[in-house]
Chains A and B, each alone.
Chain A
Amino acid sequence: QKEVEQNSGPLSVPEGAIASLNCTYSDRGSQSFFWYRQYSGKSPELIMFIYSNGDKEDGRFTAQLNKASQYVSLLIRDSQPSDSATYLCAVNMGGGNKLTFGTGTQLKVEL
C-alpha cells in the first residue's frame, strides 16, 4: 500500500514565527510533490509543487524535498492568522496522473 503520512496536529505557532510542516511517503520512485491548503469547509487550493531535490521558494512559502530520506516539508515564514488551515501533502506515486494525499496537518497561528 503506497502511503503518504502527515502529523495531524494541531500545530500551533505564534504570529510571525516559522511554521514547519512535514510529510513522508513510501514510494521511493515518486516524482512529483504538492502542497495544498484547505480552509474549513472549502476545497483544497494549490500552494506549490516541487520535483527536484532541494528547496523551492515562493513568497513566504518554501518547499523542501529530500528523496533519499523520502520526505517533503513546507516552511511558512512570518506566519499570519490567515495561514490557519489544514495543509495537505500529495505525491505522484508510480507515474501517471494519480495523486496520493496525506490526511493533512492542521495549523493554528495564534495572535
Chain B
Amino acid sequence: DGGITQSPKYLFRKEGQNVTLSCEQNLNHDAMYWYRQDPGQGLRLIYYSQIVNDFQKGDIAEGYSVSREKKESFPLTVTSAQKNPTAFYLCASSMQGITDTQYFGPGTRLTVL
C-alpha cells in the first residue's frame, strides 16, 4: 500500500524542548517537502530536498532542521529557537518531472503547552 506516512498525528511540546516529526514515503519519490499551515493561511514551505543528503531552506526555515539520509525518510526537528511552533505540519513528496505533482501525508498537529 503506497503512500506517505507522518507520525505522530498529535504532538504536544513544552517550551524549550526540541521535537522531531517523522515523514516516510514508499512511492519512490525523489523530492520531499515540509510545510507549515496556520489557521486561515496557506501552506508555507519550511525545507525541501530533491535528493538524498541534500536539502534547501524554504521560506520559513528559521528554528527548524531536517536531514535526508535515506530516500524514503525526511524528518523535521522543531527546535526551541522556533518561537511560535504551534501549527499543522504537512510533509509532501514528488517525482522529478514536468508536472512535479506533490502528494501530501496526513499531517502532524503540534501544540506547544
Contacts and interface: CB of A to CB of B under 8 A. Distances in A.
A49 B43 contact: no
B61 interface: no
Interface string B84-98: 000000100010101
Interface residues of A, number: 23
B41 interface: yes
Contacts of B40: 8, 103
B70 to A, nearest CB: 19
Contact of A101 (B42, B50, B99, B103): B42
Interface residues of B, number: 25
A44 B94 contact: no
B105 interface: yes
A30 interface: no
A96 B105 CA distance: 21
Contacts of A32: 98-100
B45 A34 contact: no
Contacts of B35: 101
A43 B104 contact: yes
Given A8-B40, A43-B104, A44-B90, A98 B48 contact: yes
B98 to A, nearest CB: 7
5 contacts: A43-B105, A43-B106, A97-B33, A98-B58, A101-B43
Interface of A: 4, 8, 32, 34, 36, 42-46, 49, 51, 88, 90, 92, 96-99, 101-104
Given A34-B101, A49-B101, 12 more contacts: A43-B106, A44-B104, A46-B103, A88-B42, A92-B100, A97-B31, A97-B96, A97-B102, A98-B48, A99-B100, A101-B42, A101-B43
